[in-house]
Structure 1
Amino acid sequence: MLITLRSMLYFVAMILSIGIFGLAIVTIGMLMPLSVRDRIAAAWGSTNLWLMRVICGLKYRIQGAENLPKHAAIVMCKHQSTWETISLKAIIRPQQSWILKQELMRLPIFGWALAAIPNIPIDRSAGRKAVKQIVERGTELLKRDRTIIVFPEGTRTAPGERRKYGIGGSLLAEKSGYPVVPIAHNAGVFWRRRGLKKYPGTIDMVVGEAFDPKGMKASEITRKVEAWIETEVDRLPSKP
């Protein structure tokens, strides 16, 4: 019961934070350089990590923090929970652009904030057109020294389950030649997909060494990323 109450309290706090920081991005932020909007978004992520720790007792630790990108790169991250969609804003450098579902752009305030930052919204039913958009827009943003965040699975996958990794991020890596940084974690153990409860404990995140994709086909990049991420996830605790 206490976990449920704390989780509900955090949910309310998260919604309030979206309103406050989202409106800041689309009002004051739009009058300022893009770097200011990036920092506001990063502050939103940091605030929510603090709220999770204080309200829910949910912490995190990072192994391989030295591998976090300091310049333009393609980050391919495991997708188990809502946690990583919040935390990566704070953990990775503020200059971020995400490959995300087009539907998110229609959400009030949150979607407006997403539109105020150069992200890559795609229609997942568009097939090759969406992949082409990822490659073209992603390469442009990488040249602007932005880090591209990709969830290769496309949607949240419960711990212990596997889903086919998409090729969009890998094709971007093949065509652009920018380094790839894989990230594994077990956030879904503590904050389940489509779940309200946030169980107290410590989420483990593992950041792999960047690798150069030059000379590799997209399929090879996908296999390399998937093998590394899934191997690391299998080593992490599977219970709160």
Structure 2
Amino acid sequence: MSLAGGLLFYFVLGLTVIPLSLLLLLSIPFTSRADRYDMIRAWGRLMLAVLRRTCGISTRVLGMENCPTSSAVVLSKHQSAWECFWLGCELPFRCAYVYKESLNRIPFFGWALWSVGLLGIDRSNGRGAFQTFATKGVSFLRQGWGVVIFPEGTRVAPGSHVKYKSGGARLAVMAGVPVVPVALNSGLVWPKNSIAKRPGVVTVSIGRPIETRGRSAREVNEEAEAWIEAESTRLLSAGRN
């Protein structure tokens, strides 16, 4: 574990997110949502490069050829904050993340999120929250964006399993777009709630798109969950060897 490397990474992150957020806010009258997203994407790639230099964490990708070039719901395993950076930077389409609307109130980082207008949801609103999510999500998908959802709802330690929520599959069925399952083992190098990082390689595996037309959300969700969990277990075993 490298505490010094982790501290240096977060120092650079904090140092760069302030000017980024100010740039995004000031550019709102002159840029589109897509332009501002691309600014964040460039910053995210910079952060991944910084992570590689400060903490020795690199990336291996399997199955990128399986990923559509637009309009898909991405259901991803969630073990750390690493995948929030990587998915937004390296998938072949812009990604609208589903996140708690309250994050918009965090100084600088939250302001940057707000400036792009992604899928911030007030979860306390119950059924209304899903209706808002569905309306916004379908709109993004019709514009060629992807929608990224962590169906476990929280970060889960490597080797652990939380039953998947069905909201992402429901959205994909409603919009008639495929589900892209993503497995990974990022928790091996970026432990939950830890500043320290472990040098190593994060392996990301992208599965074949799951067709949703004519299928139930439950069936789609179960297929995605089965593949993601089996593949993440395989990656976990390989990463520990």
Q: Which runs of 4+ in 1 moved over 4 A?
A: none
Deviation larger for 134-143 or 227-236: 134-143
Determine the C-alpha separation between the residues in 1 that align with 2:59 and 2:177. 28
Q: Helix, strand or coil for the counterpart of 1:116?
A: helix
Q: Structure 1 residues 41 and 69, CA, compared in 2 at 3 Å: closer, same or farther?
A: farther
Q: Quick one: distance in 1 between partners of 2:219 and 2:68? A: 22
Q: Structure 1 residues 94 and 44 mapped into 2: Cα distance closer, same or farther (>3 Å)?
A: farther
State the 1:115 CA deviation: 1.3
Counterpart amino acid of residue 28 in structure 1: S
- 8 Å Cα contact 1:69-1:92 kept in structure 2: no
2:231 aligned with 1:232: yes
Write the mapping of 1:138-217 to structure 2, written as runs, cut at 5 A.
138-217=137-216
Instruction: Report the alpha carbon displacement of residue 25 of structure 1 after superposing the two structures with TM.
Output: 1.7
C-alpha spacing 1:27/1:58, structure 2 compared with 1 (3 Å):
same
Secondary structure of the 2:194 match is coil
Which secondary structure does the structure 1 equivalent of 2:236 belong to? coil
Check conservation: 1:30, 1:37, Cα contact below 8 A: no
Q: Distance in 2 between matches of 1:140 and 1:89?
A: 18
- Letter of the aligned partner of 2:198 in structure 1? Y
With normalisation by structure 2, the TM-score equals 0.94
Distance 1:57 1:127 in 2: 42
The RMSD of aligned alpha carbons is 1.6
Which deviates more, 177-186 or 35-44? 35-44
Q: How does 1:109-128 map to 2 (within 5 A)?
A: 109-128=108-127
Aligned: 1:218 with 2:230: no
Which residue does 1:61 correspond to in 2?
60
Which residues in structure 2 correspond to 1:72-91 (within 5 Å)? Answer: 72-91=71-90
Find the counterpart in structure 2 of residue 20 from structure 1: 19
In structure 2, stretches of 5+ residues that fail to align are none
- Higher mean alpha-carbon deviation, 214-223 vs 123-132, is at 123-132
Q: TM-score, normalised by structure 1?
A: 0.94
In 1, the alpha carbon distance for the partners of 2:167 and 2:126 equals: 10
Q: Is 1:42–1:94's contact at 8 Å kept on the other side of the alignment?
A: no
> Does structure 2 conserve the Cα–Cα contact (< 8 Å) formed by 1:39 and 1:94?
no
CA contact (8 A) 2:182 2:204 kept: yes
Deviation at residue 66 of structure 1 after TM alignment: 1.2
Q: Distance in 2 between matches of 1:80 and 1:30?
A: 36
1:81 Cα offset (Å): 0.2
Structure 1: gaps spanning 5 or more residues: none
* In 2, Cα distance between equivalents of 1:68 and 1:33: 25
Corresponding residue SS for 1:139: helix
Q: Work out whether 1:131 is the aligned partner of 2:130.
A: yes
Counterpart Cα distance in 2 of 1:92 and 1:147 = 9
Letter in 2 for 1:67: N
Give the length in aligned residue pairs: 239
